[in-house]
């Protein structure tokens, strides 16, 4: 890369950083700005993993995750509550969860009358892209 090209890259990066908070998030304000931007990017790209902004979302997500790991304490939640939340976030109904079993089984899990087994936890974690630990 030539010196001129490097200068152009630096200028473009500064322009991008003025809009997207790429880099270590040091304050709650940085974090809020990053999560708002990430939400907007994710709304734009939807499920299209080949969208031009998908890699930007991945990179921004790394900075958000790092901040959360250090600064955001998430209280433990019961698996049924976590599953209800995930269903709500994805607009799903009980009938949309064949990973668990029949609608009756799903209903029992959501009511806290039945626990998820290891197979169900693994499938749900994969489907929702979460750690299996949140469903235990």
In this predicted structure, the answer to whether residue 123 has a pLDDT above a threshold of 70 is: yes
User: Do the Cβ atoms of 20 and 56 come closer than 8 Å?
Assistant: yes
Residue of 101, 95, 90, 92 whose CA lies nearest to 123: 101
Hey, is 5 helix, strand or coil?
A: helix
In this predicted structure, the answer to whether residue 109 has a pLDDT above a threshold of 90 is: yes
The predicted-structure confidence for 24-45, as pLDDT tens digits, reads as follows 999 999 999 999 999 999 999 9
Label residue 10 by pLDDT band (50, 70, 90).
very high
pTM: 0.53
The pLDDT score that the predictor gives to residue 131 is 84
Tell me, which fold does domain 79-135 have in CATH?
Answer: 434 Repressor (Amino-terminal Domain) (1.10.260)
Q: Where are the domains of the chain?
A: 3-71, 79-135
In this predicted structure, the answer to whether residue 79 has a pLDDT above a threshold of 70 is: yes
């Amino acid at each position: 890369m030539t010196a001129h090209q490097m200068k152009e890259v630096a200028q473009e990066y500064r322009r991008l950083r003025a809009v997207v908070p790429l880099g270590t998030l040091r304050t709650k304000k940085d974090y809020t700005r990053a999560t708002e931007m990430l939400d907007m990017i994710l709304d734009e790209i939807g499920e299209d993993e080949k969208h031009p902004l998908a890699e930007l979302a991945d990179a921004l997500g790394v900075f958000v995750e790092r901040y959360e790991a250090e600064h955001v304490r998430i209280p433990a939640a019961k698996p049924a509550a976590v599953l209800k939340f995930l269903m709500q976030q994805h607009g799903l109904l009980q009938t949309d969860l064949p990973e668990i079993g029949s609608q009756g089984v799903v209903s029992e899990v959501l009511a806290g009358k039945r626990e998820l087994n290891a197979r169900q936890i693994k499938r749900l974690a994969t489907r929702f892209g979460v750690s299996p630990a949140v469903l235990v």
